[in-house]
Structure 1
Amino acid sequence: MLKRRFSLAIAATAAALAATAVAGCGTNAQPIDVKNVAASEVLAQTAQKTTEVSSYTVDAVVDVSHPQDGSGKVQGRMLYQSRPQLALDLTVDAADVGERELPGGARVVLHGDSVYVKVEALNKMLGATKPWIKVPLTEAGDRDQVNQVLAQAQQFDLASVTTMITASQDVRSVGNESVGGTDTTHYSGTFPVEAAVRQLPADKQEHARQNLAELKDITFDIWVAADGLPRKLSMSGAQEGGKLDATLMFKGYNEPVNIKAPAADQVGELPEGTVN
């Protein structure tokens, strides 16, 4: 039972990670003149420039429904950096998907060779005396649950999402708008999931296909600033009773972030037998 409940807590957290993590490294993006470039070319340039992002902050709201699993919402925010080492700090304020609830929210920090998880409900179930639980990425044995979280984060990073969007055959500019005080051009369109998945590197395609299995065509809106980077991204799709609506707000590209592991005296180890 503990294994199952831990899995559910991680699954809810993974939903937020899956929709929000950005991977990549490089230098600051250079401006592009989005007003004088075809919409499809803007998407291609945006997909390239997201791979150059070294840090960012994102706020995300994901609404999901499934004919068997029910409906719910995941809402949270995340800090990300790729240098000097890969690190992220995710706070899930609310996560309630069908029977998978996360009362009290959650926080996940990836730092160094460990993932630190702070889930009040999980701690109560385990009788933990420390607010944080540490799961080393290099520990021996089967650690599928943690691997799934990290795999989700990598499979649905911003670079991957913007690359998938380039499969759109009907993207168009729908005007200029301010997002978070930044002038942007708003683009709207659709893309077929299978064609979009094929835009990804081979090692990412299967995970992407599995996570979008219930969807056939996705409608998207993306707001791109003059530096070629998105400030807002929304996606929605439905298929056979399942539905996904996600809105992501990005800021702080390539700005310094401060992601630290929790204080040692606040961290306990995950008891043996709680992860499959």
Structure 2
Amino acid sequence: MSARWSDRQQAMLREMGVTLWLPPQTDAMPLPEAAMSEPAPAPAPPPVRMSRPAAVSTAPNPPSVPRPLAARPSGVAAMDWLALREAVAGCEACGLCRGRQNTVFGVGHAQAQWMIIGEAPGEQEDRQGEPFVGKAGQLLDNMLRAVGLTRAEAGPEQQVYIANVLKCRPPMNRNPEPQEVAQCEPFLKRQVELVAPKLILAMGRFAVQSILQTGEPIGRLRGRVHAYQGVPVVVTYHPAYLLRNPADKARSWDDLCLAREVLRGGGPAPA
């Protein structure tokens, strides 16, 4: 049966009271053939140009170049006390200045008869700017009092002048290097010239070996009188060593007695 009714048939059915259902008429135009075909693929996006990453250097970083050291101040041999102290405070010749807090110049009477020479500043000396402080300094004070001397203000017969071979503290209290001792030696030499002591008491291996220019241990140098810049020298142990080795305090007392005899003119002549 046709899905469509003729006009005559539709009229007859209406007369009979039959309601007709007719498919709706559509005025839609057929889609173009292109619309029913599969959609064309979207055009490919233009290629993205990736920038090449910058080359990463695999070479090791160049080592940092330390600031060049300044030369030791000139004219040390002609300096007075004030100029010498200022020269020591500003010296950067050996490099120890990079880690120091203070230079340790020296203390005592400028014309003392006794001059005590130690090794290098330790942590407390570096902090306070004075040689032989702390427990080692207390022991030194006791040793000096035993022979009638003091570092406190007094006359040149009773007061001593105390200095170190090195004026700056080596890192971690390590042993001084030969070039460091060599850079500081003119300062010490000038101090000895200005004080003009009658006797030098050298305390500790590095002080003794630096002053006497020898590699012999203290044990072989004790009991004899040496010389530095024409001044008699008696050697003994450093107070810090005696704190660790109290049995050697008796030997140090013998050294002090020898120094006192030399100062009085009754000891042996310098070797």
TM range (shorter): under 0.3
Instruction: Report the structure, 1 or 2, having the larger helix content.
Output: 2
Alignment TM-score, normalising by the size of structure 2: 0.22
Alignment TM-score, normalising by the size of structure 1: 0.22
Larger radius of gyration: 2
Instruction: Report the structure, 1 or 2, having the larger strand content.
Output: 1
Higher relative contact order, structure no. (Cα contacts within 8 Å, ≥ 6 residues apart): 1
